[in-house]
Structure 1
C-alpha cells in the first residue's frame, strides 16, 4: 500500500514523532500514532524511529496505515444528522457522546460504524477510517466533513494539513469575559503529570492560536465564538481554561457543573458534557474548488443551557 507522506514544517519542529503524526491530518489519536510507530509503520527519511524521536523542519515522515480486521469495525445502522451530501463528501452534525473511531473497548456505536453501514464500503482500501479527515472529541458536537472517494479524501486532508479550513465553534464558558474580542496565543503540549490532558505549560508545546469573540454575556457565564487557527488536541478547551474561563460542563479542564449567579433563585440545569459545538466549517469542494460553508444547529442540551442562562440572568 502507498504510505501517507508528511513533511515537518517549521512550527512542528521540536515535537515528538507520535505527537506530529497524530496532528498530521490522518485522523489518528496519539495512542494510535504511537502504536503505528512501535510497529515500524512510521519512518523518518526511511528509518524507523521511537515515539519520542524529536522531528526537525523538513523531515519526511511516511505513515503506513493497515486496515484492521473486519470484525473490529462492523457496519451498524446508527442515526446520522446529515447536513449535506453529494458524490464526493458528506457533512454531518455529530451528536454529543458519539465516538469517531472504533478502539479497544469500544468497537461499536462509532461514527465509523455508521459510515460503513451507510456506504457499504470504505472510500480507500488502504485506509481503515472511511473518509475521516478530522475529529471531534466524544462530547463535542457539531460539523464534521467526511470524504466519499480516495480523491476527495486526499483533497480534504490536504486542506486540513495546510490550515485552509475555516472553523467556528460555539462555547459557553464560566465567568463573564469583559473584552469583546481576544486572541489566545499559547503553545499547547502534553500535561507534565496528567498524560490524558493537554496544557499551555508543557515544556515542548506546539504553536496554538485561537480567536475568541463574545456573543452574549450572562450573570455568571459567557457565550463565545471560537475560531482555532491551529488544530491542537483539546485546543479551545485548554486555551479558554488557561484564561480562567473553562467551558461549562468540562470536568477535565475545570468547567465542572454550570455556574450559578450570585443571588439567583435557581441554578442552571447541569449539562452532561462540555458545552462546545462545532457550529460551522468552510472547505473548498474537492471537485470545483468553490468554498462550501457547512453549518450545524445546536443540540438540545446546549439550547436548554442557553435558555436557562438567559432566564436566570434576566
Structure 2
C-alpha cells in the first residue's frame, strides 16, 4: 500500500514523529517499519522522524505485507454493494445498510453488508461500527488497516456523529430530552439489555421530537455513547418502545422503525467535513401509511 496525503493548509508545524503518533495514530509496530525501511517521504524526498512538516506538505507512506498482513474477505454482490455506497474515497467508504441485513458475518462463509461493500470496492473493507440486524442506515468502513485505528479512535472520542430517526409509541411530551441511564444485560435474557440502577455501562441518548402523530412520535436521536441496543432500550424504558421492536415489546410493524439517517465526521487526513444522508424506502413507506391512515 502506498499513500500520498497532502497535509491541511492550517496544520501547525510539527515533527514527522508527532504527525504519526498524535495526528494519524499510527501503531508503534508500523512506525518502526516506516523508520527502518525508509518508507516515508516529504514532498518526494526520504524523511526521518525528526524532520518538520507543515501545511500543504505532501507525505508519502509505503506499507508492505509485513507491515499490515493482508486479510481476505469473501465478496458479496458487487451490484448491490455499489447501489448502497453513499461516499467513497481512498481511505473510507460509507454505505446505506438495508433493514434485516447484518453489518458483518459471524463466520467466513456468511455474506453481509461488509461483503457486498468489499465486492463493490474490489478489496477488503474493515468495520468501524455496526448497526443492529433490524436497523437500517449509514455505516462506516475503513478501506485499509492504516486508517482503521484512526477511525476507531475518532469513534471512541465521539468525533464521528451519528443521527438516528425512530418512530416510537405514544406521544413524547418533552420537545427535547437527554436520557442518561446506564444499561446492563437482562439477567433473564442475555440477548436483551435493560436500564439498571447500578453496575451497568454509562449510556446517554439525546432525543429531539420531530413530529407528533395521533398515537406515535417521530424522534431524532443522537448517541453520546454507543451501547448495544441503546436507543431501543432507552425509549422502551420510558414506555415509548420503537414500532416493530419485538425484543423490547414495541407495537407490531413490518420492520423496526429505527434508521441511521445521518453520519458526519472530519476526514482524518484532509480535514474535510464529510456528511452523508441515508434514505430508507421501507421506513418512509410505513411513515406515509401511518400519517395517512
Please say if residues 172 and 209 of structure 2, whose CA atoms lie closer than 8 Å, have aligned partners that are also in contact.
yes
Counterpart selection for 2:103 from 96, 100, 121: 100
Instruction: Please name the residue that 1:90 is paired with.
Output: 93
Task: Give CA-to-partner distance per residue, 1:69-105, whole Å, 9 cap, x none.
Answer: x6xx52122513111111111111111111112115x
Matched, 1:119 2:121: yes
Counterpart selection for 2:178 from 175, 183, 203: 183
Please say if residues 189 and 202 of structure 1, whose CA atoms lie closer than 8 Å, have aligned partners that are also in contact.
no
Q: After the TM superposition, which residues 250-265 of structure 1 pair with which residues of structure 2 at under 5 Å, given as runs?
A: 250-257=245-252
Separation (CA, whole Å) in 1 of partners of 2:199 and 2:109? 33
Where 2:189 maps in the other structure, the secondary structure is coil
Q: Which protein is bigger by CA-based radius of gyration? A: 2
Please say if residues 191 and 201 of structure 1, whose CA atoms lie closer than 8 Å, have aligned partners that are also in contact.
no
Instruction: Please name the residue that 1:288 is paired with.
Output: 270
How many aligned positions are there? 222
Separation (CA, whole Å) in 2 of partners of 1:220 and 1:198? 25
CA RMSD across the alignment: 1.9
Separation (CA, whole Å) in 1 of partners of 2:70 and 2:110? 16
Matched, 1:152 2:147: yes
Q: After the TM superposition, which residues 201-280 of structure 1 pair with which residues of structure 2 at under 5 Å, given as runs?
A: 201=196, 203-257=198-252, 270-271=253-254, 273-280=255-262
Q: Following TM superposition, by how much is the alpha carbon of 1:185 offset from its aligned partner in structure 2, in angstroms?
A: 0.5
Matched, 1:76 2:76: yes
Q: After the TM superposition, which residues 161-200 of structure 1 pair with which residues of structure 2 at under 5 Å, given as runs?
A: 161-200=156-195
Q: Which moved more, 1:278-287 or 1:106-115?
A: 106-115
In the superposition, the TM-score normalised over structure 2's length comes to: 0.71
Where 1:150 maps in the other structure, the secondary structure is coil
Separation (CA, whole Å) in 1 of partners of 2:286 and 2:259? 13
- Quickly say closer, same or farther: Cα 1:194–1:67, change in 2 above 3 A: farther
Please say if residues 88 and 286 of structure 1, whose CA atoms lie closer than 8 Å, have aligned partners that are also in contact.
no
- Quickly say closer, same or farther: Cα 1:240–1:162, change in 2 above 3 A: same
Separation (CA, whole Å) in 1 of partners of 2:129 and 2:219? 23
Counterpart selection for 1:137 from 111, 125, 132: 132
In structure 2, stretches of 5+ residues that fail to align are 1-68
In structure 1, stretches of 5+ residues that fail to align are 1-65, 123-129, 258-269
- Quickly say closer, same or farther: Cα 1:99–1:67, change in 2 above 3 A: farther
Q: Following TM superposition, by how much is the alpha carbon of 1:120 offset from its aligned partner in structure 2, in angstroms?
A: 3.5
Question: Which structure has the highest strand share of the two?
Answer: 2
Structure 1 ranges of 4+ moved more than 6 A: none
Q: Following TM superposition, by how much is the alpha carbon of 1:203 offset from its aligned partner in structure 2, in angstroms?
A: 4.5
In the superposition, the TM-score normalised over structure 1's length comes to: 0.67
